[in-house]
Structure 1
Amino acid sequence: MKLIILALCMAALALAEDKYDSLDNIDLSEVLGNDRLLVSYSKCLLNKGPCTPEVKKLKEKLPEVLETQCAKCTDKQRQMGKQLVNEIKSKHPEIWSDLSSFYDPQGKYREALEEFLKS
Protein backbone atom coordinates (compact mmCIF):
# COMPACT_ATOMS: atom_id res chain seq x y z
CA MET A 1 0.00 0.00 0.00
CA LYS A 2 2.80 2.42 0.88
CA LEU A 3 4.42 1.66 -2.47
CA ILE A 4 1.22 2.59 -4.31
CA ILE A 5 0.90 5.87 -2.39
CA LEU A 6 4.55 6.68 -3.07
CA ALA A 7 4.08 5.91 -6.78
CA LEU A 8 0.99 8.14 -6.94
CA CYS A 9 2.85 10.98 -5.21
CA MET A 10 5.74 10.65 -7.66
CA ALA A 11 3.32 10.66 -10.61
CA ALA A 12 1.57 13.75 -9.27
CA LEU A 13 4.90 15.50 -8.82
CA ALA A 14 5.97 14.59 -12.35
CA LEU A 15 2.68 15.89 -13.76
CA ALA A 16 2.96 19.12 -11.79
CA GLU A 17 6.47 19.69 -13.09
CA ASP A 18 5.35 18.87 -16.62
CA LYS A 19 3.33 22.10 -16.90
CA TYR A 20 4.61 25.33 -18.39
CA ASP A 21 5.40 27.57 -15.46
CA SER A 22 6.93 30.57 -17.13
CA LEU A 23 4.16 31.57 -19.53
CA ASP A 24 1.87 33.25 -16.99
CA ASN A 25 3.99 36.41 -16.69
CA ILE A 26 2.55 38.25 -19.70
CA ASP A 27 -0.08 40.88 -18.90
CA LEU A 28 -2.61 40.01 -21.59
CA SER A 29 -4.80 43.08 -21.11
CA GLU A 30 -1.76 45.31 -21.53
CA VAL A 31 -0.72 43.56 -24.74
CA LEU A 32 -4.20 43.51 -26.26
CA GLY A 33 -4.83 47.12 -25.28
CA ASN A 34 -1.62 48.44 -26.83
CA ASP A 35 -1.25 48.04 -30.61
CA ARG A 36 2.40 49.08 -30.52
CA LEU A 37 3.20 46.39 -27.97
CA LEU A 38 1.17 43.78 -29.87
CA VAL A 39 3.02 44.57 -33.10
CA SER A 40 6.36 44.42 -31.28
CA TYR A 41 5.55 41.04 -29.75
CA SER A 42 4.33 39.68 -33.06
CA LYS A 43 7.57 40.81 -34.74
CA CYS A 44 9.50 38.88 -32.10
CA LEU A 45 7.41 35.76 -32.73
CA LEU A 46 8.00 36.12 -36.47
CA ASN A 47 11.79 36.59 -36.11
CA LYS A 48 11.49 40.17 -37.39
CA GLY A 49 12.32 42.06 -34.21
CA PRO A 50 13.78 41.87 -30.72
CA CYS A 51 12.13 39.86 -27.95
CA THR A 52 11.41 40.55 -24.32
CA PRO A 53 12.36 37.68 -22.00
CA GLU A 54 8.68 36.72 -21.53
CA VAL A 55 7.89 36.59 -25.24
CA LYS A 56 11.14 34.77 -25.94
CA LYS A 57 10.02 32.01 -23.54
CA LEU A 58 6.64 31.87 -25.27
CA LYS A 59 8.33 31.73 -28.67
CA GLU A 60 10.49 28.80 -27.57
CA LYS A 61 7.46 26.84 -26.34
CA LEU A 62 5.00 27.73 -29.13
CA PRO A 63 5.88 24.90 -31.54
CA GLU A 64 5.46 22.33 -28.76
CA VAL A 65 2.20 23.97 -27.63
CA LEU A 66 0.82 23.69 -31.15
CA GLU A 67 2.02 20.14 -31.66
CA THR A 68 0.66 18.84 -28.34
CA GLN A 69 -2.50 20.96 -28.43
CA CYS A 70 -1.46 22.74 -25.25
CA ALA A 71 -1.12 19.49 -23.28
CA LYS A 72 1.26 21.04 -20.74
CA CYS A 73 -0.72 24.27 -20.37
CA THR A 74 -2.37 25.22 -17.11
CA ASP A 75 -6.04 26.19 -17.13
CA LYS A 76 -4.99 29.84 -16.88
CA GLN A 77 -2.66 29.48 -19.87
CA ARG A 78 -5.41 27.83 -21.92
CA GLN A 79 -7.80 30.66 -21.10
CA MET A 80 -5.15 33.26 -21.95
CA GLY A 81 -4.39 31.48 -25.23
CA LYS A 82 -8.05 31.42 -26.23
CA GLN A 83 -8.50 35.10 -25.41
CA LEU A 84 -5.33 36.08 -27.24
CA VAL A 85 -6.12 34.11 -30.39
CA ASN A 86 -9.73 35.30 -30.53
CA GLU A 87 -8.76 38.95 -30.06
CA ILE A 88 -5.96 38.85 -32.64
CA LYS A 89 -8.12 37.00 -35.17
CA SER A 90 -10.93 39.54 -34.88
CA LYS A 91 -9.06 42.82 -34.34
CA HIS A 92 -5.74 42.19 -36.11
CA PRO A 93 -6.37 39.70 -38.93
CA GLU A 94 -3.14 40.66 -40.70
CA ILE A 95 -1.09 39.74 -37.64
CA TRP A 96 -3.06 36.52 -37.28
CA SER A 97 -2.43 35.68 -40.92
CA ASP A 98 1.31 36.26 -40.52
CA LEU A 99 1.51 34.18 -37.34
CA SER A 100 -0.58 31.36 -38.83
CA SER A 101 1.54 31.25 -41.96
CA PHE A 102 4.75 31.25 -39.93
CA TYR A 103 3.84 28.63 -37.30
CA ASP A 104 1.44 26.47 -39.33
CA PRO A 105 2.34 26.85 -43.02
CA GLN A 106 0.66 23.56 -44.00
CA GLY A 107 -2.43 24.21 -41.87
CA LYS A 108 -2.03 20.95 -39.96
CA TYR A 109 -2.96 22.54 -36.61
CA ARG A 110 -5.89 24.59 -37.89
CA GLU A 111 -8.66 22.10 -37.07
CA ALA A 112 -7.27 21.32 -33.62
CA LEU A 113 -6.95 25.03 -32.89
CA GLU A 114 -10.58 25.65 -33.81
CA GLU A 115 -11.64 22.81 -31.49
CA PHE A 116 -9.46 24.25 -28.74
CA LEU A 117 -11.09 27.66 -29.15
CA LYS A 118 -14.57 26.11 -28.87
CA SER A 119 -13.78 24.15 -25.69
Structure 2
Amino acid sequence: MKCVIVLCFVMVCASVMARPEDSKYTSKYDNVDLDAIVKNDRLLRNYVDCLLGKKKCSKDGEQLKGILPDALKTKCSKCSDVQKNGAKKMINHLIKNKRTWWDELEAVYDSDGTYRKEYEAEAKKEGIQL
Protein backbone atom coordinates (compact mmCIF):
# COMPACT_ATOMS: atom_id res chain seq x y z
CA MET A 1 0.00 0.00 0.00
CA LYS A 2 2.70 2.41 0.93
CA CYS A 3 4.43 1.85 -2.38
CA VAL A 4 1.29 2.72 -4.22
CA ILE A 5 0.35 5.70 -2.05
CA VAL A 6 3.69 7.26 -2.61
CA LEU A 7 3.69 6.20 -6.21
CA CYS A 8 0.52 8.15 -6.57
CA PHE A 9 2.00 10.97 -4.56
CA VAL A 10 4.90 11.04 -6.96
CA MET A 11 2.50 11.18 -9.82
CA VAL A 12 1.70 14.67 -8.59
CA CYS A 13 5.21 15.32 -9.68
CA ALA A 14 5.44 12.71 -12.35
CA SER A 15 2.04 12.01 -13.84
CA VAL A 16 -1.55 12.25 -12.86
CA MET A 17 -4.31 12.00 -15.43
CA ALA A 18 -5.39 8.83 -17.19
CA ARG A 19 -5.52 8.97 -20.96
CA PRO A 20 -8.39 6.87 -22.30
CA GLU A 21 -6.56 5.88 -25.47
CA ASP A 22 -3.88 3.89 -23.67
CA SER A 23 -5.18 3.61 -20.10
CA LYS A 24 -1.94 5.01 -18.71
CA TYR A 25 -1.42 8.00 -16.47
CA THR A 26 -0.07 11.01 -18.29
CA SER A 27 3.68 11.50 -18.53
CA LYS A 28 3.18 15.27 -18.37
CA TYR A 29 5.02 15.51 -15.04
CA ASP A 30 7.68 12.83 -15.52
CA ASN A 31 10.50 15.39 -15.67
CA VAL A 32 9.72 17.06 -12.36
CA ASP A 33 12.74 17.28 -10.04
CA LEU A 34 11.69 15.00 -7.19
CA ASP A 35 14.87 15.78 -5.26
CA ALA A 36 13.81 19.41 -5.09
CA ILE A 37 10.44 18.38 -3.68
CA VAL A 38 11.84 16.08 -0.98
CA LYS A 39 14.23 18.86 0.05
CA ASN A 40 11.39 21.37 0.43
CA ASP A 41 9.25 20.49 3.44
CA ARG A 42 6.74 23.23 2.71
CA LEU A 43 6.08 22.00 -0.82
CA LEU A 44 6.00 18.36 0.20
CA ARG A 45 3.63 19.14 3.08
CA ASN A 46 1.31 21.02 0.70
CA TYR A 47 0.92 17.88 -1.38
CA VAL A 48 0.35 15.75 1.71
CA ASP A 49 -2.25 18.19 3.03
CA CYS A 50 -3.96 18.20 -0.36
CA LEU A 51 -4.22 14.41 -0.32
CA LEU A 52 -5.54 14.53 3.24
CA GLY A 53 -8.16 17.13 2.35
CA LYS A 54 -6.64 19.65 4.78
CA LYS A 55 -5.77 22.28 2.17
CA LYS A 56 -6.94 23.35 -1.23
CA CYS A 57 -5.12 21.38 -3.91
CA SER A 58 -3.18 22.74 -6.83
CA LYS A 59 -4.43 21.57 -10.22
CA ASP A 60 -1.97 18.67 -10.33
CA GLY A 61 -2.66 17.85 -6.70
CA GLU A 62 -6.38 17.64 -7.39
CA GLN A 63 -5.75 15.28 -10.30
CA LEU A 64 -3.53 13.13 -8.11
CA LYS A 65 -6.15 13.00 -5.40
CA GLY A 66 -8.65 11.83 -7.98
CA ILE A 67 -6.55 8.95 -9.30
CA LEU A 68 -5.05 7.77 -6.02
CA PRO A 69 -7.87 5.34 -5.19
CA ASP A 70 -7.61 3.77 -8.66
CA ALA A 71 -3.85 3.45 -8.43
CA LEU A 72 -4.12 1.75 -5.05
CA LYS A 73 -6.79 -0.61 -6.27
CA THR A 74 -4.98 -1.58 -9.47
CA LYS A 75 -1.44 -1.78 -8.07
CA CYS A 76 -0.55 1.17 -10.24
CA SER A 77 -1.06 -0.80 -13.41
CA LYS A 78 -1.39 2.48 -15.34
CA CYS A 79 1.95 3.82 -14.09
CA SER A 80 5.11 4.04 -16.18
CA ASP A 81 8.50 2.82 -14.96
CA VAL A 82 9.53 6.44 -14.39
CA GLN A 83 6.54 6.92 -12.13
CA LYS A 84 7.19 3.68 -10.25
CA ASN A 85 10.84 4.63 -9.67
CA GLY A 86 9.80 8.06 -8.48
CA ALA A 87 7.35 6.45 -6.11
CA LYS A 88 10.09 4.35 -4.56
CA LYS A 89 12.10 7.51 -3.97
CA MET A 90 9.17 9.23 -2.30
CA ILE A 91 8.23 6.18 -0.23
CA ASN A 92 11.72 5.89 1.15
CA HIS A 93 11.87 9.59 1.93
CA LEU A 94 8.50 9.74 3.67
CA ILE A 95 8.99 6.58 5.70
CA LYS A 96 12.56 7.38 6.73
CA ASN A 97 12.27 11.15 7.18
CA LYS A 98 8.61 12.10 7.51
CA ARG A 99 7.06 9.06 9.15
CA THR A 100 4.21 10.99 10.79
CA TRP A 101 3.21 12.40 7.39
CA TRP A 102 3.27 8.90 5.97
CA ASP A 103 1.14 7.62 8.84
CA GLU A 104 -1.41 10.37 8.17
CA LEU A 105 -1.69 9.30 4.53
CA GLU A 106 -2.01 5.67 5.50
CA ALA A 107 -4.78 6.47 8.00
CA VAL A 108 -6.82 8.09 5.22
CA TYR A 109 -6.05 5.82 2.27
CA ASP A 110 -5.72 2.49 4.09
CA SER A 111 -7.63 2.80 7.34
CA ASP A 112 -8.36 -0.93 7.50
CA GLY A 113 -4.82 -2.03 6.57
CA THR A 114 -5.86 -3.83 3.38
CA TYR A 115 -3.23 -2.26 1.15
CA ARG A 116 -0.52 -2.51 3.81
CA LYS A 117 -1.00 -6.28 3.88
CA GLU A 118 -1.16 -6.47 0.11
CA TYR A 119 2.03 -4.47 -0.51
CA GLU A 120 4.13 -5.40 2.52
CA ALA A 121 6.15 -8.11 0.78
CA GLU A 122 6.81 -5.84 -2.21
CA ALA A 123 7.95 -3.03 0.07
CA LYS A 124 10.26 -5.39 1.92
CA LYS A 125 11.90 -6.43 -1.38
CA GLU A 126 12.55 -2.74 -2.02
CA GLY A 127 14.19 -2.38 1.40
CA ILE A 128 11.29 -0.45 2.88
CA GLN A 129 10.37 -1.28 6.46
CA LEU A 130 6.67 -0.61 6.98
Residue aligned with 2:114, SS: coil
Aligned-pair identity (%): 37
Instruction: Find the counterpart in structure 2 of residue 33 from structure 1.
Output: 39
Distance 1:75 1:15 in 2: 19
For structure 2, the 5+ residue unaligned runs are 1-18
Report the TM-score when normalising by structure 1.
0.78
Report the TM-score when normalising by structure 2.
0.72
> Given the superposition, is the C-alpha separation of residues 49 and 33 from structure 1 closer, same or farther in structure 2, using an over 3 Å criterion?
same
More deviation, 30-39/16-25: 16-25
Where relative contact order (Cα < 8 A, 6+ residues apart) is larger, the structure is: 2
Matched, 1:20 2:25: yes
1:99 corresponds to which of 94, 98, 105: 105
Alpha-carbon displacement from aligned partner over 1:87-113 (angstroms, at most 9, x marks no partner):
101100000000000000001011333
Shift of 1:27: 3.3
Stretches of 4+ aligned residues off by more than 6 angstroms: none
Whose helix fraction is larger, Structure 1's or Structure 2's?
1
Structure with the greater alpha carbon radius of gyration: 1
Shift of 1:40: 1.1
Matched, 1:108 2:114: yes
Contact 1:26 1:54 in 2 (8 A): no
2:82 corresponds to which of 62, 76, 79: 76
Instruction: Find the counterpart in structure 1 of residue 92 from structure 2.
Output: 86
For structure 1, the 5+ residue unaligned runs are 1-13
> Given the superposition, is the C-alpha separation of residues 51 and 111 from structure 1 closer, same or farther in structure 2, using an over 3 Å criterion?
same
Contact 1:23 1:77 in 2 (8 A): no
Q: How many residues align?
A: 106
Instruction: Find the counterpart in structure 2 of residue 63 from structure 1.
Output: 69
